[in-house]
Structures are given as structure tokens and as C-alpha cells.
Amino acid sequence: MKFAHDKAILLVIALFVMPAASWAFNFVPTRAEWDSWPPHCKARYSISPAGDGTEFARIVPTAEVQSWNAQVGEYVWSHMHHYCAGIAFQFRARLEVDPGKRSMYLERATKEVDYTYRHLKPGMPLYSTVSIAMGSVWADRRQYGRATGYLKGAISAQPEEPSGYVALASVYQNQKRPDLAKTVLLEGDEASGGSSAEIAYYLGLVSLDLGQKDAALEYARKAYGMGYPLPGLRRKLNAAGMTL
């Protein structure tokens, strides 16, 4: 009896001290969630124990897995699965219609992404990417002040990367501040040397919101001339009586 009792106590202790890495990926993504993942997350999951027995096990070529492992380094590789889990839960939350479940998924997403974020420092691989993910999750939770802090951190760490500017501009747009959104995007356009079709596209959208149709048309021509795929800006321009 005493042995069984002691064994039960040890099991409880083990559950509490078990490394987070062993449970964070204890789920199977849907096909839509898998498709939404960036390639480094697919590579990480495909070889993880959580992927065993699923349709995603070992489907990423070994050479690609090894390439991603080498790119991010062993330290980041060992912690990045929390971030990957987090953005999967965020994707799940965005499709959820039940407010309670949506809140639950976003809370889980925050905890998972935050785990990876706390293990990274500026200059490390994926630091800006994970910072943007943190900002995005907090924005979905309508905690715009927190979202802004993470996104500004991402921009500071990698000022030439357009994604941070676009994400921060989106937060300002959600706050009905297209003026601030455009300022941020213009900063991003300058920092990236005018090379980002994504920034040009969103500058077009923000310019329309500000009633600056001629500027929106010029930005649209630039974005689509660089091959930007989303048709939303074109449609809005057409609705406003303007054609490319």
C-alpha cells in the first residue's frame, strides 16, 4: 500500500515538474492549421513526438528539416515549438464563433508564444518573428497597448524587415488611427528602401481611408507592379471609380 501511495505522489510531482517542451505540442493541428503554419513550424512538428501517428509525421523532407534546424540553431529549435503551437491556437481562435472558446484559445496562444519569446533575445533567429506573433495575439485580444510594445520591439530589432511595420500599422488601423498607420508604413518604406510590395499595398489601403485617392492609386500601381497578390486594394479603387 505504501509503495502504491508513494508511487502516486511521485507521479503527481512528475506532472508538475515535467518540462513544458513535453506538453506544449500535445495536440494535432487540423489540415487548415497545418497549411497556415510557416515552413519552419511544419519542419519542427513533423519530427516531434506529437506528430507521430498523425498524417504530418515525417512528411517534411529530412534535408529541409535539417536546413531549418541549422538556420535557427539548436537553442532556438529546442524552444520554437511553443511559438508554433501558439500561432496554431491563434488561428483556431480566429475561426471560433463561441466567445468563451475564442478567449480560451487566445489565452493559450499567448502563453505558448510568450514561452518562446522569453527564451529569445534581440539578434537571435526568429526574435522579430516571435515578437510580431506576440503583438498579433495581444491585438486579437484587443490589448493594443501591449501589442504595440512587442511590435515596436520587433521593428527595433530588425528595422529593415517590413512585417513589423505592417503589423503595427494594422494595430493603429484597428484603433481607427489611419494617420498613425500611414506614418509607420512610411517609416517602413524608407527603412526597407522602398522594396516592399506589402508596405506599398497597405499604404494604398491607408491612403484610401484618409481620402487620399491619388496617393492610393500610386501605391497600388507600385504594389501590383511588384507582383503583390491580394486584390482588395484594386477592388476598393474600382469602387471609388479609379482604375489601375
CATH assignment at residue 228: 1.25.40.10
Average pLDDT over residues 100-124: 97
Domain that holds residue 190: 161-171+179-244
Residue 215's alpha-carbon distances to 121, 188, 191, 205, 223, in angstroms, are: 38, 17, 20, 10, 12
Tens-place pLDDT, residues 220-231: 999 999 999 999
CA distance 57 to 46: 5
CA distance 60 to 58: 6
231 plus 126 within the same structural domain: no
152 plus 183 within the same structural domain: no
Average pLDDT over residues 92-112: 97
Task: Round the average pLDDT of the chain to a whole number and report it.
Answer: 90
Average pLDDT over residues 66-72: 97
Q: Tell me which DSSP letter residue 194 carries.
A: T
Amino acid 110: pLDDT: 98
Cβ burial of 14 (10 Å; 0-12, 13-18, 19+) is exposed
Amino acid 28: pLDDT: 87
